[in-house]
Amino acid sequence: MIAKFVRSIFGQHQEGSARSRWSENYLGPAIYGIDTMPFEIYVGKKVSEIKIELADTNHLHLADVLFNIHNKWASLKDYENLSFEQSSIVKNDKIFDVASLANGASAFFSTRMEENPHVIVRFPHDVELDALRIVNRRDGLWHRARNLGVSVCTNGRWLPVYDGSDSQSRLSWLKRAVEVLPDSDSPTEDVCNLLSELRACVCTGPLAVESCYGAIERFGAEYKFPSSSIESVDFFSSGLARSLSRVFSFFESRLSFIVARFSINMLVCHGYRRDAFRLYAIAARSLSESELKCIEEDVEVIGQQKYKHPLIPAAHTFARPLSSYPREILLDTIDAVVKCLDDPDRALLLCYGTLLGFYRDNDFIAHDDDIDLLCITSVGREGLYEVATQIVEILSGAGFRAQINFNNRREGLPFIQVFSQSHRVHLDIFLAFESGGELMLPMRNVNYSSVPAPVLQPAATKEFFGREYKVPADIEGFLVARYGVSWNVPDKHFRANEHGKR
C-alpha cells in the first residue's frame, strides 16, 4: 500500500524504458527558464567533467549552466577554455550548439528529439565544484526537463548527483532545499509555522512529502498576501522568501496557483519584474481569471509600496501603467515626435493600443505601458531599414534617444523605439509599406499582414483631449482588423490570449 502511494505521488521509473511514465500527480522540482530562479543542485566534489542528460526521448534544450567554484558563480559564457560534447544538434544548425551558447551567439542550445540526449561540459583542469545551476529554455515548455539527470566525473569515475527520473533523488533534493532554509529576521506566526512543519517533514520518512504538501497548501490558503496585507511585502523581499520559492516549486504541478503567486510576489519584490512576468505569462495558460486577478492585485500593491506607483502586466514585464502618468506629459511627447517627423512622404498616425484607448476609453488603456504610432512609408519592404535609420537620426538630433528594433526573428523588419528625457514611457513607431494595392503592417503577434489601403488612407484628423491627431481613414475598420469584432470590450489579457497562452 505504501509503495502504491509513493508511485502515485512520484511516478514509477521503468528501468530500460526510453520514456518514464509520469502520473498526473507528479511531484518534483520545477526547472524554470528563469534566470533568477535557476534549478540548483549541490555537488561538493572535485570534478573534471559534467554530464547533463534526459532519461527520456525528447529535446534537451537549456539556456544556461552555471558553476559555483570557490563560492563564486560563473556561467558558460564566463568560464574560459571549456570544451563540449553534444549528442546531436537540432537541424544540424550550429546556432543550436552549446558552444554557440557559451560564446554568446545563441540564447540556448538544443539537441534533436532523440532518446537520452545529453551534453558534456569539460573543464580545462579539475575544479572544486560546490554546486550547479541550470536555466531551462525560456519558452515555457519546462516539463520537458522533468527527467533531467546530472552526473560528474571525478577521478575518472562518473557519479550521479541528481536524477529527475528517480523518486528518491527528487526527495533528496527536496530534503536539502528544506535543510538550507535560513531563519527569518522577523517571522510572522504563519511563516514560523510553515518553517517548523517543513523542517519536521524532512525527518519523518518517505510519507513526509504529503505533509510538506499540506503545510504549503495551508500556508497558501491562510497567509495574507500583499493585496490583503502590505506588511507581507517585507517578507517577500527577504532571502527566506527566495529560498522558500525553491521548496514551493517542488509542488508546482499540484499547487500551481500557490506556487506561481508566491514566486511572482517574491520576484517582483526583489526587483526581477521581467522574470516575474515570464512566470506570470506561463502560469496564465492554466490559471483561472480569479487566480490571475489575485496575482495582479498583489503586484499592484507591491508596486505602490516599493516603487510609489502601481504595476501592471504589460507586453514583456510588470510595468508602470500609462494611466499613472500625467496625461499632458505623454501627449506632449507624441506631439513632439510627430512634429519632428513631419514629412509628406511619411504619414504618422495613432495606431494599435494608443488609438484604441483614445477612441474607446477617451484615455490611455488602463493596462497599457507604451505609446504606438504607425508610419506609412512611400517605400517598399526593402527600403524600411533605411527609413528607420533616417527616423532615428532625426529624433536623436532632436534630443530623443531612439533605436531600431525588429518585430521578430523570422521577418526581421524594423521598428523604432523612442525614449523621452522627461519620463520612462517609450514610444514605438511601426512601419507600413504598400504591396499589391494593400498596406502591409504589423498585426497579429506583430507579424506583417495586409490591410486594405482605404482602411488607413487617406489619413483622417481627429481631436482627442483638445489636440488634433492623424488617425486611420476608417478607425473602427482598423480596430476590427487588428483586435477583432470585440475591440470595444476591454481585455487586459489580450496579449496572452493572442499568443495562445490562455
For residue range 469-496, what is the model confidence (pLDDT) as tens digits? 999 999 999 999 999 999 998 877 676 6
Q: Count Cα neighbours of 337 within 13 Å in the Cβ-side half-sphere.
A: 32
DSSP letter at 143 equals G
d(CA 487, CA 491): 9
Region label for 71, one of left (φ > 0), alpha (ψ between -120 and 50) or beta (otherwise): left
* Amino acid 284: pLDDT: 87
**Is the link from the previous residue into 454 a cis peptide, with omega within 30 of 0?**
no
- Give the relative orientation of helices 167-179 and 2-10 as an angle to the nearest 10 degrees: 80
For residues 192-213, average pLDDT: 82
157: Cβ contacts below 8 Å, ≥ 6 apart: none
For 397-425, the pLDDT digits (tens) are 999 999 999 976 667 899 999 999 889 89
Q: Which residue has the higher pLDDT, 8 or 344?
A: 344
d(CA 361, CA 366): 9
DSSP letter at 183 equals P
- Cβ–Cβ under 8 Å, residues 318 and 311: yes
* pLDDT of 443 strictly over 80: yes
* Amino acid 13: pLDDT: 40
* pLDDT of 12 strictly over 50: no
The mean pLDDT of the chain is 89
Q: Are strands 157-163 and 448-452 parallel, antiparallel or unpaired?
A: unpaired
At 316, the pLDDT band (50, 70, 90 cuts) reads: confident
At the topology level, CATH places domain 325-498 in Beta Polymerase; domain 2 (3.30.460)
For 149, the 3-state DSSP assignment is strand
At 436, the pLDDT band (50, 70, 90 cuts) reads: confident
At 191, the pLDDT band (50, 70, 90 cuts) reads: very high
The rounded Cα 73 to chain-centroid distance in angstroms is: 22
Query: What's the pTM?
Result: 0.84
For 62, the 3-state DSSP assignment is strand
* Amino acid 118: pLDDT: 98
N residues, the chain = 502
- Cβ–Cβ under 8 Å, residues 37 and 262: no
For residues 306-332, average pLDDT: 92
Other beta carbons within 10 Å of 221: 8
- Domain ranges for the chain: 29-163, 176-319, 325-498
At 269, the pLDDT band (50, 70, 90 cuts) reads: very high
At 353, the pLDDT band (50, 70, 90 cuts) reads: very high
